[in-house]
Structure 1
Amino acid sequence: MRVLAADIGGTNSRFALYETGGLARGHVPRPQDRLCAVRLPTAGTASFADLLRRAAAEEPGLFTSPALLVLAVAGPVRGGRRCTPPNIPWAVDLDDPALHAPGMPPLPPVLLINDFVAQAYACLRSAAPDEPDAPDVLNMLDVLDGHPVPDAPIAVVGAGTGLGKCLLLPASGDGMPPRVLPSEGGHALFPFTDEREMAFAAFVRAHTGRQVIGDLVVSGPGLRLLHAFHTGQWLEPAEVAARLATGEHGADADHALPHVLSRILSWFARFYGRVCRDYVLETLALGGLFISGGVAAATPALVTHPAFAEAFRQSDTHADLLRAVPVRLVRSPDAGLLGAALYGALHRPTH
């Protein structure tokens, strides 16, 4: 079966056509299973229909033969038919007549899921490996060692344009696909702890006019805000990440900036560790934690920095529990596509 997978994010949208007929349970597609693909900037599209039209124009092969389209969208899904993403200026509505207007590509049956459901499905093989010699298509990086509890829930947390969270539940053994519980926990208020952090919270509130939620702190926009708070310079998130990765600070910067970059890295790592810790405690995800999303994938130092581990394991009551939770980083930019394709292979409609 051919599955057209789509990962619709606040910054970029990716499409790929996969041949999933040979998939075994819990195996993500391999690179050779991908038949064609396209990547588009989400911000440059006027509507969901416009995005599909542009994808078809870029790569007509995407829509010529799929038996199923799996849409993984960064927002809460309602009734399996509609999603209003908080970081995209348009909604996904499968009942929109514009999807069937002249000039639109023909659509196969569609499954609409939250983007972190797809991220969790991509982690299935690593969560329960039954093919030890299989290639690591997710490009995993071990962040913290631990001792996972068998059959315990597994957390997936990731910073991109926003902050995503979900919980992967162990298979029940009745032949049904694994369950994933999506979350909008990235929109909960962020927990700051001291006066300096409170000053940053006031800075974020002043420049956004919004409640200071996780989406504004542990995310690409959060990295931009943190850099501006510490340096007074407003840069795009990718440029901040590049500076953190290389230590470069530009010809016009003063001699103290390398130290400032180190402080920014430490702060962001601490914030990232804190939100991961809180989610693991809230869900008792003792089976482990996967970190996904483009921010840490592009700059692994944001989670390998000692401040991440210190914040993740900091607890007056459950430090021993947290020390046992292994943490791994998903570095593949295609994780959402791979997970969406696997979801389609395991949830193919029977009618």
Structure 2
Amino acid sequence: MTQLLAGDTGGTKTILRLAELHETQSGPKLKPLYESRYVSAEFTDLVPMVRTFLTETAEAIGTPPKPQKACFSIAGPVVNNTCNLTNLSWMLDGARIRQELDLKKVQLINDFAAVGYGITGLEAEDIDTLQEGEPREDAPIAVIGAGTGLGQGFLIQHQGRYRVYPSEGGHTDFSPRNELEFQLLKYLRDKLNVNRISVERVVSGMGIAAIYQFLRDRDYVSETPEVGEAIRTWEREAGKGEKTVDPAAVIAVAAAEGRDRLSKETMELFVSLYGAEAGNLALKLLPFGGLYIAGGVAAKNLPLMKSGIFIEALTDKGRMRPLMERIPVRLILNQNVGLLGAALNASRL
């Protein structure tokens, strides 16, 4: 059996997985053999990390692993199978990694492209349907995911298999829909001293914090002392290397637990903006193969995502509403979808 090595590599952590490829009548199936997580900054490069992983794997499974092919999803732009990681001083080169690890093939792919490949390997329990729609097997698939930034991409069938195409759609213009959102746009332009605001500035983890600050500074709703102090601590830590507060998490938890009305209003506006941008992507691609919502923000706020706010914003496209209501919308629950995608891509090398 062919052994494959897959990695989900980021500035903070890296997850590595060894899998075994089995060819079946329904297509390739992957059997995970061993998986481990590492702090990226504790290694000078990906190669020594992989060597550590292979040593641990041998001890865990009782036999030396012999992967032939590998694919690593990278949090950063990949050009000609090379990448400078965005938040880590690693310069990765697929050819060098292949040679130093004695592998037959190595491919580096963008982390959001890996999510796209992972969609093709999801099981029923890995997704939650937000809108049934009218699925078509021959249609494109779209994927959007808010996290640190806002990833967007799409899949198209080619010769019996899907090909993944990433995009930079998160950097398109933020387009307000009403007076409150126009005020948000002006607030961000003034605060950041820029002329243009991308949709990623509001539909992302940093967008949650920005929306909270906007509503707070406009006295839209009063804040509770507990949440307010946490956000002010985060603001004081701006520019520092170590942060003690994750503002998006603080706001989301307070909203979910009903402890802070300002947090609740923040998250509802965020989800509406998220749905509106997902609808914009759907209008451009008509993804009747499915519009998939990725990223930890959506999965960690499932009740709010399923409240109707997201789908109402997605379908609120004037004369195009009937068309939007036909698009299947699915939320990815499996937070290792990128790692799964890297493994599936490795199987195709």
Question: Deviations for 1:3-40, whole angstroms, at most 9, x for unmatched residues?
Answer: 111122455432211112346656664xxx22222234
Q: 1:333 offset after TM fit, Å?
A: 1.2
Opposite residue 156 of structure 1, the aligned amino acid is: V
Aligned partners of 2:105, 2:132: CA distance in 1, in Å? Answer: 42
Partners of 1:15 and 1:38 within 8 A in 2: yes
Partner of residue 83, structure 1: 83
Task: Kindly indicate whether residue 131 of structure 2 is the aligned counterpart of residue 144 of structure 1.
Answer: yes
Opposite residue 216 of structure 1, the aligned amino acid is: R
Partners of 2:77 and 2:110 within 8 A in 1: yes
Aligned partners of 2:25, 2:89: CA distance in 1, in Å? Answer: 36
Structure 1 residues 226 and 303, CA, compared in 2 at 3 Å: closer, same or farther?
Answer: same
Q: 2:261 aligns with which of 256, 259, 262?
A: 259
Q: 2:111 aligns with which of 101, 112, 115?
A: 115
Question: Deviations for 1:143-189, whole angstroms, at most 9, x for unmatched residues?
Answer: 1121123411111111121111111113434xxx3211111111222
Q: 2:141 aligns with which of 154, 165, 184?
A: 154
Task: Kindly indicate whether residue 52 of structure 2 is the aligned counterpart of residue 53 of structure 1.
Answer: no
Q: 1:125 offset after TM fit, Å?
A: 4.6
Opposite residue 208 of structure 2, the aligned amino acid is: L
Aligned partners of 1:276, 1:26: CA distance in 2, in Å? Answer: 31
CA radius of gyration, larger in = 2
Q: 1:214 aligns with which of 181, 188, 199?
A: 199
Q: 2:257 aligns with which of 222, 239, 246?
A: 246
Equivalence map 1:123-138=2 (5 Å): 123-125=119-121, 136=124
Partner of residue 319, structure 1: 321
Partners of 1:165 and 1:185 within 8 A in 2: yes
Q: 1:141 offset after TM fit, Å?
A: 0.8
Partners of 2:22 and 2:29 within 8 A in 1: no
Task: Kindly indicate whether residue 177 of structure 2 is the aligned counterpart of residue 193 of structure 1.
Answer: yes
Question: Deviations for 1:18-67, whole angstroms, at most 9, x for unmatched residues?
Answer: 112346656664xxx2222223455x468xx5355346446634695221
Question: Deviations for 1:253-299, whole angstroms, at most 9, x for unmatched residues?
Answer: xxxxx322221121111111011111111112122211111111222
- SS at the partner of 2:157? coil
Q: 1:37 aligns with which of 13, 21, 35?
A: 35
Structure 1 residues 265 and 113, CA, compared in 2 at 3 Å: closer, same or farther?
Answer: same
Aligned partners of 1:280, 1:41: CA distance in 2, in Å? Answer: 36
Root mean square deviation of aligned Cα: 3.0
Q: 1:88 offset after TM fit, Å?
A: 2.7
Partners of 1:27 and 1:125 within 8 A in 2: no
TM-score, length of structure 1 as denominator length: 0.78
Structure 1 residues 289 and 67, CA, compared in 2 at 3 Å: closer, same or farther?
Answer: same
Structure 1 residues 57 and 265, CA, compared in 2 at 3 Å: closer, same or farther?
Answer: same
Structure 1 residues 52 and 189, CA, compared in 2 at 3 Å: closer, same or farther?
Answer: farther
- SS at the partner of 2:45? helix
Opposite residue 180 of structure 2, the aligned amino acid is: R
Task: Kindly indicate whether residue 15 of structure 2 is the aligned counterpart of residue 8 of structure 1.
Answer: no
Structure 1 residues 323 and 2, CA, compared in 2 at 3 Å: closer, same or farther?
Answer: same
Partners of 1:67 and 1:108 within 8 A in 2: yes
Task: Kindly indicate whether residue 26 of structure 2 is the aligned counterpart of residue 18 of structure 1.
Answer: no
Partner of residue 166, structure 2: 182
Structure 1 residues 100 and 20, CA, compared in 2 at 3 Å: closer, same or farther?
Answer: closer
Partners of 2:94 and 2:106 within 8 A in 1: no
Higher mean displacement: 14-23 or 144-153 = 14-23
Aligned partners of 2:69, 2:285: CA distance in 1, in Å? Answer: 32
> Going by fraction, where is helix more abundant, 1 or 2?
2
> Going by fraction, where is strand more abundant, 1 or 2?
2
Q: Which runs of 5+ in 1 are unaligned?
A: 127-134, 249-257
Structure 1 residues 111 and 192, CA, compared in 2 at 3 Å: closer, same or farther?
Answer: same
Structure 1 residues 50 and 147, CA, compared in 2 at 3 Å: closer, same or farther?
Answer: same
Number of paired residues? 315
Higher mean displacement: 88-97 or 68-77 = 88-97
Partners of 2:98 and 2:104 within 8 A in 1: no
Task: Kindly indicate whether residue 105 of structure 2 is the aligned counterpart of residue 94 of structure 1.
Answer: no
Structure 1 residues 143 and 9, CA, compared in 2 at 3 Å: closer, same or farther?
Answer: farther
